[in-house]
Chains A and B, each alone.
Chain A
């Protein structure tokens, strides 16, 4: 007796908001390419159920100074370009970056304490060197983040950069800078659906339109809390599809930063033999972290190793194919 199976489709009331990073000359910026993410009307890649109008994208993360604490595997791969942010950015684009994520680490008071003006100049230099959109992170010290990102926002008004991080205890100044200069705010909550939602509301209440807020649910690397991020992302996506307007922001995940912080990618000696080859392991660690997050609904992956990027982009190719 032949059995007929009906496709089990869920009907969703909502979808993820579309956000475009970068502005071309016609739009008031200088980018030669822009990136649009979001718009999904289904749990990830269920094409029988709803559309996925834009593919997830990969941003490659670079620093404004040679990183002091990166895994030797990464440092060996990039080589000399880490000393020249412009060259580094160009190389990242050559290697397939859809966007550049520039961390202004040099502005950290405990690193080079680079001034806001000089930091803004670095961003301008990178903008001049590459045509893809930019995500710019402050140095990671709240007060300095604010100073630096305000200067960056001013100096790059109209470029539609993504600026981060807006966090629960420090979001107003960065959000205000985004409002004033036409940029996008990256709102990070500590792996918590309700705090994420609240932060989105608070930022939009200030007057930043919702199509200029990305959410960063906070990434846990493979083996270091990945499952928490994974589930929070699934919950955020479900809430978005169920029509909760304040969870419909596209998601950005710092897969590279977290995966390359793990002991597995950072340490080559004195580890169990069962861990296998160090270099390949680091790349695999980043790859699995990133692909798992894509399955959970990530829209932008911020990554570090181009070989992992290549695999992740191929994975995305496969997943968006209908």
Chain B
């Protein structure tokens, strides 16, 4: 059970020294409670308090990071089973697997593509996180070669896949500073694997067969005792339904039972149960929604990656902090100076719905998005984030005035109540009241034309 801000406050020095960067100890305590500050920022906390706080605040799913500067995958620290309960914090890393049996050119092509891939969506750049290199040949030098090809030109997180500890020990010096994930320790090799991981301070994946969670927990207990604590779990399930059940069990045990042996992020291989790239996408989308940590794909194709990155962005959006679209003028169907001008708020869902309906109407129009701090029309209006003044500002500063030759603005039906006020803020403008629901926009816009 997480401590409340008040409980944490009792353990702090209560000096308001401000050295942690927060003005009061209570404010700092509240930030600790919401996990938006680190206890280490307080220079005066007593050892005793520290132990008590750390015991209580250790995350049920350990935060594990792969990679160094460049691209880094950080997963774990999750606190809920359902995103609506709070949010999912650390999105899974998407990595693409190459095998050392492929030609250097092939490997290089994939690594380049992964490294260079970037797509913009609602103001954020979405990237693929890394490359997994599998020692499929069984040959150490081939493996080293492949690692070299990937490592030399790709600033991405790495997963090194080999079941032979000695092989990994041989190649690790090449990339140890990049903190790759080692895959994988199993019941047969775990001592030696743990030794390699400890030696290079690398995170280590732990693997069992077919969802045997007891075996998995036994292994992680042993490996933790051997001094390696940055672990990732592969329950060994490959079909969608087995993965779903195993991964759900692991997450539940960690969160609901605070079961430390399974309190680690997971690694999964959606391509291994799939018979086509599209099936792999379907399985990968399950892993994104249902608790995946590192997802190893067997195909790299922008067509298939882009939907997965979008899904990841969707699922890992904080439900209480809605995505905002950029306040701007959005032309739809190549509008001209006489096309109608509509305004609405920058809550992403509002924007998508309104833009979608205007698009569907086929009527060229200008859509002006005002900055409502991501709130929907009614909420923004109620909170004073979408009032006559804000609308005036949007009209005057967005650049729309250079694009149109009229002074008619269509406002959402739900804020009809402020049409008079807007007319006062924008003298000479005609304020028209559009429909309340976006679905009625099409007929509304058509009626304007006729």
What is A's interface to B at a CB cutoff of 8 Å? 1-5, 7-8, 43-48, 69, 110, 140-141, 220, 222-228, 230-231, 234-235, 238, 261, 264, 272-277, 280-281, 283-285, 287-288, 291-292, 295-296, 307, 311-312, 314-315, 318-322
18 other A-B residue contacts (CB within 8 Å) besides A5-B259, A280-B304, A281-B303: A2-B218, A5-B217, A46-B244, A47-B241, A222-B307, A223-B313, A224-B352, A226-B314, A227-B314, A230-B314, A231-B319, A284-B281, A288-B281, A295-B244, A295-B289, A296-B289, A314-B279, A315-B279
Given A227-B315, A230-B289, are A284 and B304 also a contact pair (CB < 8 Å)? yes
- Asked if B82 and A234 make an inter-chain contact with CB atoms under 8 angstroms apart, the answer reads yes
B400 cross-chain contacts in A, Cβ below 8 A:
none
The reply to whether the CB of B356 lies closer than 8 angstroms to some CB of chain A is yes
Q: How large is the interface on B (under 10, 10 to 19, 20 to 34, 35 or more residues)?
A: 35 or more
CA distance A318 to B245 in the complex (A): 12
**A229 CB → nearest B CB, Å:** 10
B358 smallest CB distance to A (angstroms): 12
Provided the pairs A5-B259, A238-B82, A319-B244 are in contact, do residues A311 and B282 lie with their beta carbons within 8 angstroms?
Answer: yes
By a CB distance below 8 angstroms, the chain A residues around B84 are 231, 234-235
Q: Are B304 and A276 in contact (CB under 8 A)?
A: yes
Top 6 A-B pairs, shortest CB-CB distance: A276-B303, A276-B302, A274-B119, A3-B217, A227-B314, A231-B84
Q: Across the interface, do B252 and A8 meet the contact criterion of CB distance under 8 Å?
A: yes
Give, as a whole number of angstroms, the nearest-CB distance from A320 to chain B.
7
- How many whole Å from A262's CB to the nearest CB in chain B? 8
**Interface contact A319-B249, CB-CB below 8 Å:** no
- The digit string for B271-301, where 1 denotes a CB below 8 A from any CB of A, is 0010010110111011001100000000001
Partner of A8, one of B119, B121, B249, B352: B249
A9 to B: closest C-beta gap in Å: 9
Q: Knowing A274-B302, A281-B303 touch, does A288 contact B279 (C-beta < 8 A)?
A: no
Q: Using known A-B contacts A225-B352, A281-B306, A288-B308, determine if residue A5 contacts B253 with beta carbons closer than 8 Å.
A: yes
Which residues on the A side are within 8 Å of B244 (C-beta)?
44-46, 295, 319
| B residues with CB within 8 A of A | 82-84, 117-121, 213-214, 216-218, 221-222, 239-241, 244-245, 248-249, 252-253, 256-257, 259, 261-262, 273, 276, 278-279, 281-283, 285-286, 289-290, 301-308, 310-311, 313-315, 317, 319, 348-349, 352-353, 356, 360, 362, 439, 442-443, 446
Least CB distance, B21 to chain A, in whole angstroms = 33
- Return B207 CB to nearest CB of chain A, in Å: 16
A292 to B315 Cα, complex, angstroms: 10
Number of A-B contacts (CB under 8 A): 171
Q: Can you list 8 pairs linking A and B with CB atoms under 8 Å apart?
A: A3-B214, A5-B261, A45-B241, A226-B314, A227-B83, A231-B84, A274-B302, A311-B279
Q: State the Cβ distance, B227 to closest chain A Cβ, in Å.
A: 17
Question: How far is the CB of A287 from the nearest CB of chain B, in Å?
Answer: 6
Instruction: With both chains docked as a complex, state the minimum distance between the C-beta of A275 and any C-beta of chain B, in angstroms.
Output: 6
List of A residues within 8 angstroms of B303 by Cβ = 275-277, 280-281, 284
| Bound: A142/B218 CA distance, A | 61
- B282-A288 in contact (CB<8A): yes
- Contact between A321 and B446, CB atoms less than 8 A apart: no
Of all chain A residues, the one with the shortest Cβ separation from B317 is A227
Bound CA span A285–B356, Å:
16
CB-based contact B82/A5 at 8 Å: no
**A47 proximity list for chain B (CB < 8 A):** 241, 245
> Is there contact, CB below 8 Å, between A8 and B311?
no
* B241 contacts A319, C-beta separation under 8 Å: yes
